């Protein structure tokens, strides 16, 4: 069986297409690379959707935490504290069992007990809290002069936010937000190791890597393969976010454009 056959059989295995049974003996390197790569589809799915949805909510949460209304500010601050102060792993467990209990009362929650929706909700709330804190910090350090200049030009309300405050906030937050994106993609590997079940062995990359390590009792092949995939993914994220960073800073003179610094303060 050539490697092309393996790709045809297992390339989309994580989504439920192709060969039903996972390989059981005589594992080849090709099988491991293909299956783990197939699992990466789930990591990319979780990461991308949670990131996009979380971005919108993070902006709202940051504005909420900076709001003058004490009720809104308190709620936002608590939201951020709860999701940043507890382990994501426990959040997954808690959410899964919460959805299980709710399912009995309201049938609507049945959907959320499967990983593709339930875990996505947890990841979305989690990244909204982390990026909300980043955005809040950036919002606090928007230069005073820019806001005053906007006032002087007669900008107000929504227009001022859309044209002045928000772009500057993004500019300031972007390096830290890039980190958050990287860590979010790393966090997606936790999904199938918490409460959420992998139905008919459709798991993510780590799920398959763990499967191979258990079956062959040789961790030195599947985990480096997984590591390779993730380093590749990290490089892609850094590249994409670097492009956006270039666009955010395109009005600045060349020498003042802050080069994206990948100093990576630890986040999670």
Partner 1 sequence: MACYLSTPKHMAFYWSFGTVLVLLAITAPLALVFGFGGATAARAQLAPVRWFGKAYIAVVRGVPDIAFFLFFVIALDQGFEYLRHQVFCPDWDQPIRQGNDFLVCPAAKLPLSTSPQVWHEIYGFFLAVLTFAIVFGAFAANVLFGAMRAVPQPQLETAAAYGMTPRQTFWRILVPQMWVYALPGLGNLWMVLIKATPLLFLLGVEDIVYWARELGGTKTARFTDYPHGDWRMWYFGALLLFYLAFTKLSEMVFDRVMLRLTRGQATLAGEAQRKAAA
Query: In the complex, what is the shortest distance from the CB of residue 173 to partner 1, in angstroms, rounded to a whole number?
Result: 17
Q: Closer to partner 1 by CB, 152 or 266: give it.
A: 266
**For the chain, what is the radius of gyration of the CA atoms?**
22
DSSP for residue 217: S
Q: At what angle do helices 70-85 and 115-140 cross, to 10 degrees?
A: 120
| d(C-alpha 195, C-alpha 112), whole Å | 12
Least distance (Å) between residue 39 CB and partner 1: 12
For residue 1, the minimal CB distance to partner 1 (Å) is 19
User: Measured from the CB atom, is 141 or 163 closer to partner 1?
Assistant: 141
Least gap, CB of 96 to partner 1 (angstroms): 9
DSSP state of 262: -
Are 9 and 23 in contact, with CB atoms under 8 Å apart?
Answer: no
Closest to partner 1 by CB, 42 vs 249, is: 42
Q: Which is nearer to partner 1, 58 or 205 (CB)?
A: 205
Interface ranges with partner 1 (CB under 8 A): 25, 27, 81-82, 85-91, 93-94, 97-98, 100-101, 186-187, 189-190, 193, 206, 209-210, 213, 215-220, 223, 226-227, 230-231, 234, 263-268
C-beta of 38: minimal distance to partner 1 in Å?
Answer: 17
CB of 80 to partner 1, least distance (A): 12
Q: Would you say 82 or 111 has its CB closer to partner 1? A: 82
In whole angstroms, give the CA distance from residue 235 to residue 136: 27
The residue among 48 and 216 lying less far from partner 1, judged by its C-beta, is 216
What's the token pair of residue 90?
């426990």
Structure tokens at 10: 């297992």
Distance set, CA 197 to CA 45, 165, 246 (Å)? 17, 43, 41
Nearest to 209 by CA among 39, 89, 8, 21: 39
Shortest spacing between CB 27 and partner 1, in angstroms:
8
DSSP characters over 108-147? GGGGGGSHHHHHHHHHHHHHHHHHHHHHHHHHHTS-HHHH
Closest CB to partner 1 among residues 143, 224: 224
């Amino acid at each position: 069986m050539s490697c092309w056959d393996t790709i045809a059989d297992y390339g989309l295995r994580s989504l439920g297409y192709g060969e039903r049974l996972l390989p059981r003996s005589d594992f080849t390197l090709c099988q491991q690379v293909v299956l783990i790569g197939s699992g990466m589809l789930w990591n990319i799915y979780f990461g991308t959707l949670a990131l996009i949805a979380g971005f919108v909510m993070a902006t709202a949460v940051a504005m909420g935490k900076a709001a003058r209304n004490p009720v809104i500010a308190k709620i936002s601050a608590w939201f951020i504290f709860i999701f940043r102060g507890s382990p994501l792993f426990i959040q997954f467990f808690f959410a899964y069992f919460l959805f299980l209990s709710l399912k009995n009362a309201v049938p609507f929650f049945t959907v959320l007990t499967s990983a593709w929706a339930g875990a996505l909700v947890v990841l979305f709330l989690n990244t909204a809290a982390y990026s909300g804190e980043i955005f809040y910090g950036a919002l606090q350090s928007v230069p005073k002069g820019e806001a005053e200049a906007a006032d002087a030009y007669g900008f107000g309300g929504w227009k001022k936010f859309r044209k002045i405050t928000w772009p500057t906030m993004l500019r300031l937050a972007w390096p830290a937000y890039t980190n958050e994106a990287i860590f979010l993609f790393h966090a997606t590997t936790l999904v199938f190791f918490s409460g959420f079940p992998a139905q008919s062995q459709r798991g993510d990359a780590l799920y398959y890597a763990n499967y191979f390590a258990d079956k062959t009792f040789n961790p030195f092949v599947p985990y480096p393969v997984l590591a390779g995939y993730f380093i590749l993914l990290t490089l892609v994220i850094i590249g994409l976010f670097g492009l956006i960073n270039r666009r955010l800073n395109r009005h600045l003179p060349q020498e003042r454009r802050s080069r994206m610094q990948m100093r990576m303060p630890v986040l999670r």
